[in-house]
Amino acid sequence: MTLHHAFTVIARATARASGHPLVFGVAGGLVFVWLVTGPLFGFSDTWQLVINTGTTIVTFLMVFLIQHTQNRDTDAIHIKLDEIIRAIGGAHNSVVSLEDLEDAELERFRKRYAAIADEARKRVHEGRLDTGAPDVLSVDAAVATDGARRAAGKQG
């Protein structure tokens, strides 16, 4: 078993366990025990240091475990969405793996789809259907025209 695989197994098990109500109850119980022992230890600096150190260590480790689990889940969702896009006739395969694009290119796609949504809302408002798969590339012209209109409006 590789180190990466071992980490993945541990991270998944820990993430699953830490989300269980019983673990929350145990954590709450530990905090309660710590509170009750305060008078026993005279609410000393050492008594406070115990909870501070414990929570800091747990938080530090959980950040990495949660991020690993989140990255894994996000990758799986992207793969599933990419497969749906690839498999559906009429879908635009150009949107497969958008998450790998640079921010400027991603913004261009966002504007394309915002223009498609705006057009669909207009059709619904007019009582027409908003279904269909418009050509994404032809939306570039609409986005450019809209951008030119907005720029002209700001200058005037």
Tens-digit pLDDT profile for the chain (156 aa)?
899 889 888 888 888 898 899 999 999 999 999 999 999 999 999 999 999 999 999 999 999 988 998 998 998 998 898 888 888 877 778 888 888 888 888 888 889 888 888 988 998 889 988 776 666 555 455 455 555 555 666 554
User: What is the pLDDT, as a whole number, of residue 140?
Assistant: 52
For residue 36, with 0-12 CB atoms within 10 Å meaning exposed, 13-18 middle and 19 or more buried, which class applies? Answer: exposed
* Nearest CA-CA partner of 18 in 60, 81, 65, 87: 65
The token pair that represents 26 in the structure block: 């145990």
User: What is the pLDDT, as a whole number, of residue 139?
Assistant: 47
As a whole number of angstroms, the distance between CA 28 and CA 20 comes to 13
Are 73 and 15 spatial neighbours (Cβ–Cβ below 8 Å)?
Answer: no
pTM above 0.75, yes or no: no
User: What is the pLDDT, as a whole number, of residue 33?
Assistant: 96
